């Protein structure tokens, strides 16, 4: 919810001073961030005993000397409350005995303290000042969570807490019997802070109780096998994107259920869209040293607008141009050489090179391509940009110059792409989904050691070098903090073909979804840069590969071919440039829920001449872009 923080009126000064005093009041037992490394309670003779409390106190989502929020949280009796709540972790076969004491001044309803799998549609209500006991068998192994709420849902569909109770949740992990592979647990939280006289409403997003650049930095060595459990108890879905490597989804679930996949059924992705209330276990192996990111791909959830505001002045006119963005509490020393133009749902990962393994080199002559980015001089409702691709004497640009043309390269062929910035602002290009060296990944502050990826300044250029190691549908896009570059069209499809393959309209159709609006309630939806869909012409009985990309800054789309009464049919082929396991590579109705940063490939074969309607709908506000397919 990006906004400019200003006082509503000077008459509110007295109330403002009171609010500031409250925000700065020291807490006797402030809430601490929980890295989910140490399980709560004690296991003896197959019984986990734990005493939990529901409390309210001050919490620092950024630096420990940064801004405070007063929120509700779980804690163990006799210890500081935590965000996320204390991790309950136990081996299969354990009996859980938990006591929950409600120290709040309001009733709370607790969910998820029950045997897994479960179907606890109603929780256990605990009045203020009272406690309840829970005894149950842990149940099936998996990644789950427990949670509570103290506020009423804003709607029937909004189940998860959102306001002061947004952080009342904690991991609930049941390990299989026997040896267990080492893993880390990360809990994503989102809180919408209610507006008052001090500020309009704003949003706070965290991973394990901290918001980047104060999230825990992670260190690994290339070749390590890394296993994470990622839990999303928040009200928002989050497309979680990993830079520089694919990860396998080992399991998926909810706070009550868990589905583990066998080796052949595991999907490889670079972006997995975690629905509200969902969980996953993932595994990956970094092959390239450097500084990498794991982050939500919604631009707003990783922008500097997610910094928590500080209100240190009491008169509106005292806010000047030198004020940090949105009143953010800046801590340059904590940011160092990190990705300085990001905040929020971000983990930074430093991967060290194994000392005994030499870096591979290639003697092949690289293919050389230029990507030229410039402003579109034409007027309009919002600023647009032009991307063109040059190779030798050949220049390709999109017809309307408001989205980049596809860049087509070949698996195994060394490639150099020179990004030329003709804008009046810095930019950088991320090669989304490619496994390449960190320095070329396109994130400011990336790279290895003292080799730090720069922003491409106006009038400057940067050469990205990589050798694609798999064929599929990928993306190139701006990775700057400016959302207008994404809504303006600094992105495009990156197609990697197998040697000898070709890319053309006779068997490929690229559908790059975007928006001209920068926020989640976008109404101006685009496909391939256009807000008007021209009829797509297909030949009857011909087989096409539909390559669908969502590169809007903050957008979740529902794509549908055909009508509700007569849905189209397609066969799923790939996700994020990787082939699908057999359980997913199936024919079905042509319906797709796709979030920012995801790509999908489908095989589509129209067998009957005529017209097929198709549409893209914003899943939040139901805005639509409607078109048709004409089968000849």
Reported as a single tens digit per residue, the pLDDT across 551-562 is 999 999 999 999
The pLDDT of residue 9 is 32
The pLDDT of residue 25 is 40
- Residue 435 is encoded by which pair of tokens? 């496994």
What sign has the CA pseudo-torsion 101, 106, 112, 115? positive
Beta-bridged to residue 331, according to DSSP, are none
Residue 404 phi/psi, 5° resolution?
A: -75, 150
Is residue 279 classed as helix, strand or coil in its secondary structure? strand
Beta-bridged to residue 55, according to DSSP, are 73
Beta-bridged to residue 512, according to DSSP, are 549
CA distance 190 to 83: 11
CA 27 to chain centre: 33
CA distance 338 to 439: 13
Residue 6 phi/psi, 5° resolution?
A: -140, 155
CA distance 92 to 568: 45
C-beta of residue 528 within 8 angstroms of C-beta of residue 398: yes
CA distance 190 to 205: 4
C-beta of residue 148 within 8 angstroms of C-beta of residue 54: yes
Query: For residue 480, what are the CA distances in angstroms to 289, 327, 441?
Result: 22, 20, 13
Query: For residue 46, what are the CA distances in angstroms to 92, 137, 506?
Result: 9, 10, 64
Q: Name the residue with higher pLDDT: 409 or 65.
A: 409
pTM over 0.85: yes
CATH 2.60.40.420 residue spans of the chain: 10-284, 364-503, 506-632
Pick from 69-83, 331-345, 357-371: least confident: 331-345
Reported as a single tens digit per residue, the pLDDT across 207-238 is 999 999 999 999 999 999 999 999 999 999 99
Determine which helix (DSSP H) or strand (DSSP E) holds 631, and give its type and residue range.
strand 624-631
Instruction: Tell whether the model's pLDDT for residue 330 goes beyond 60.
Output: no
Q: Report the candidate in 231, 300, 297, 220 with the shortest Cα–Cα distance to residue 89.
A: 231
CA distance 16 to 36: 37
What would be the CATH architecture of the domain defined by 506-632? Sandwich (2.60)
Pick from 117-121, 278-282, 525-529: least confident: 117-121
Reported as a single tens digit per residue, the pLDDT across 244-276 is 999 999 999 999 999 999 999 999 999 999 999
Banded model confidence at residue 565, pLDDT cuts 50, 70, 90 = very high
Protein fold of 10-284? Immunoglobulin-like (2.60.40)
The pLDDT of residue 8 is 30
Q: Report the candidate in 432, 421, 552, 428 with the shortest Cα–Cα distance to residue 486.
A: 552
Determine which helix (DSSP H) or strand (DSSP E) holds 621, and give its type and residue range.
none
Mean pLDDT over residues 564-576, rounded? 95
Banded model confidence at residue 573, pLDDT cuts 50, 70, 90 = very high
Protein fold of 364-503? Immunoglobulin-like (2.60.40)
CA distance 358 to 37: 34
């Amino acid at each position: 919810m990006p906004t400019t923080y200003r006082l509503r009126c000077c008459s509110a000064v007295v109330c403002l001073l009171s609010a500031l005093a409250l925000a700065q009041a020291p807490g006797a037992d402030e809430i601490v961030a929980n890295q989910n490394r140490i399980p709560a309670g004690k296991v003896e003779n197959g019984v986990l005993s734990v005493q939990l409390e529901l409390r309210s106190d001050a919490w620092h989502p950024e630096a420990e000397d940064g801004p405070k929020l007063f929120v509700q949280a779980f804690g163990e009796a006799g210890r500081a409350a935590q965000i996320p709540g204390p991790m309950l972790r136990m081996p299969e076969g354990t009996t859980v005995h938990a006591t929950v004491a409600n120290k709040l001044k309001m009733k709370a309803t607790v969910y998820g303290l029950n045997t897994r799998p479960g179907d606890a549609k109603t929780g256990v209500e605990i009045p203020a000042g009272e406690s309840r006991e829970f005894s149950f068998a842990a149940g099936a192994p998996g990644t789950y969570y427990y949670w509570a709420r103290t506020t009423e849902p804003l709607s029937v569909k909004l189940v998860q807490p959102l306001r002061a109770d947004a952080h009342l949740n904690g991991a609930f992990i049941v390990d299989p019997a026997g040896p267990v592979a080492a893993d880390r647990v990360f809990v994503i939280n989102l809180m919408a802070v209610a507006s008052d006289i001090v500020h309009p409403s704003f949003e706070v997003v965290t991973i394990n109780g901290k918001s980047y650049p104060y999230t825990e930095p992670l260190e690994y060595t290339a070749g390590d096998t890394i296993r994470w459990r990622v839990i999303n108890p928040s009200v928002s879905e989050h497309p979680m994107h990993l830079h520089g490597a694919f990860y396998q989804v080992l399991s998926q679930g909810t706070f009550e259920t868990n589905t583990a996949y066998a080796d052949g059924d595991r999907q490889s992705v670079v972006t997995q869209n975690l629905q509200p209330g969902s969980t996953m276990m993932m595994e990956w192996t970094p092959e390239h040293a450097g500084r990498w990111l794991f982050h939500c791909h919604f631009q707003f959830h990783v922008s500097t607008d997610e910094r928590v505001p500080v209100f240190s002045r009491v008169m509106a006119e005292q806010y000047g141009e030198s004020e940090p963005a949105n009143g953010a509490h800046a801590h340059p020393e904590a940011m160092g050489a990190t990705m300085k133009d990001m905040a929020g749902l971000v983990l930074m990962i430093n991967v060290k090179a194994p000392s005994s393994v030499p870096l591979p080199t290639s003697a092949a002559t690289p293919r050389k391509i230029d990507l030229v980015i410039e402003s579109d001089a034409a007027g309009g409702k919002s600023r647009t940009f032009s991307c063109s691709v040059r190779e030798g004497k050949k220049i390709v640009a999109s017809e309307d110059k408001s989205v980049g043309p596809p860049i087509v390269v070949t698996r195994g062929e060394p490639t150099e792409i020179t990004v030329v910035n003709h804008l009046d602002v810095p930019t950088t290009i991320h090669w989304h989904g490619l496994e390449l060296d960190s320095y070329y990944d396109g994130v400011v502050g990336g790279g290895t050691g003292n080799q730090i990826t720069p922003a491409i300044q106006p009038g400057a250029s940067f050469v990205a070098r990589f050798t694609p190691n798999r064929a599929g549908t990928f993306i190139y896009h701006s990775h700057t903090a400016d959302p207008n570059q994404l809504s303006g069209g600094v992105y495009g499809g990156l197609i990697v073909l197998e040697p000898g393959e070709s890319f053309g309209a006779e068997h490929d159709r690229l559908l790059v979804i975007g928006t001209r609006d920068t926020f989640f309630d976008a109404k101006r939806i685009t496909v391939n840069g256009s807000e008007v869909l021209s009829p797509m012409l297909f030949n009857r009985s011909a087989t096409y590969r539909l390559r669908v990309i969502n590169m809007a800054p903050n957008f979740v789309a529902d794509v549908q071919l055909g009508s509700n009464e007569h849905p189209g049919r397609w066969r799923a082929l790939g996700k994020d440039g990787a082939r699908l396991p057999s359980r997913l590579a199936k024919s079905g109705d042509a319906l797709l829920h796709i979030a920012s940063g995801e790509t999908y490939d489908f095989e589509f074969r129209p067998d009957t001449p005529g017209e097929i309607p198709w549409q893209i709908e914003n899943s939040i506000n139901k805005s639509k872009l409607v078109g048709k397919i004409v089968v000849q």
